[in-house]
Structure formats: C-alpha cells, structure tokens
Amino acid sequence: MLPLTESAIRASLVNASQRERRDIHLPDGFADLAWDRLDFLGWRDPKAPQRGIVVAPVGDELIGVLLQQSSTAPRSRAQCTWCQDVRLPNPVVFYGARRAGAAGRNGNTVGTLVCTDFECSANVRKPRPIPYLGFDPAAATVQLIDDLRNRVASFAADIASTA
C-alpha cells in the first residue's frame, strides 16, 4: 500500500459526516507504519475504541469506511471474513458500517466479522505449516494477500456504491 496523508485519509471516508471526519484520531505510530506490509489501513480510534476506520485502495481511488463495533461478541470463535485465517490467531468481532449517501442516512448498514484490531495484513503473511509435499508457501502467501485485498476492496466498494 502506498503511504497516506492525514488529509487523504479524512477525505476518503465515504460514510462519515464532516464532524466524524474531523473527530477521528489517527493510529498511534502512524508516522512509522510499514506501508509495504499493509494491504489496507485499519485501526480502532484510540479515543473511541468501539469505532474502527478502514482505508483501502479500490481501483485508482481510495475509499475509507467508518465502522462501529457491536456491543456483543460472537458466541463462538468466529473466523475473520477478510483474512479467513483458520488458525484464529486474533479475536474477531462484528463491525457495522452505514452505507454512503442517502441510504446510510436512512439507516441502511452493512456488517462483517473482522479481526478486532485489523491484523489481517499480518495474518496473511505469517508462515503456514506445509500441508503436502511440493506445496509452494510463497505462492500461497501471494494468493492470500491478493484475496485479502479483493475482499477488503469489495467491502469498501459496497459501502461506497450507494453514494
């Protein structure tokens, strides 16, 4: 992912009001992020921990989505919809997002199960056990990264599609 500026992040938020854009806080260590190891930028607002922000490249544009964590946790261990890591290394929670535009103002939302702190980019890059002789772990990692990027971009585009 290419490095982002604070103004680009705020401007990319498709389902946030002007006040919400102004009130979000960037993640701790924003200046030191390893952009080359990120497929999307996702974080929980340090001042409002129930709020999450995801910014993803979708085609040639940048789409940011403001998410709200559900107050209840899944009853059993859930698998992240984005990274789909079967080892379940992180807690997964339900995040809901208002749709962009009039649909969002009318209360239409979309929800998804995602790693609590958006660790998906790290999860798809972790070494995996070799399942069979001749397995190519490098090719599998590349495929996992592509799949993650596509899922996040699809989610962001779905939120923005009603703008």
- pLDDT tens per residue across all 163 residues of the chain: 899 999 999 999 999 999 999 999 999 899 999 999 999 999 999 999 999 999 999 999 999 999 999 988 778 888 999 999 888 778 999 999 999 988 888 888 999 999 999 999 999 999 988 888 889 999 999 999 999 999 999 999 999 986 4
Q: Is residue 99 included in any domain, yes or no?
A: yes
Q: Is residue 70 included in any domain, yes or no?
A: yes
Output the six-digit token pair for 66: 């403001």
Q: Is residue 121 included in any domain, yes or no?
A: yes
Residue range of the domain that includes 102: 6-160
Q: Is residue 77 included in any domain, yes or no?
A: yes
Nearest to 48 by CA among 72, 17, 18, 69: 69
Q: How many domains does the chain have?
A: 1
Its pTM stands at 0.91
Q: Is residue 1 included in any domain, yes or no?
A: no
Count of CB atoms within 10 A of residue 88's CB?
13
> Is 128:63 a contact under the CB 8 Å cutoff?
no
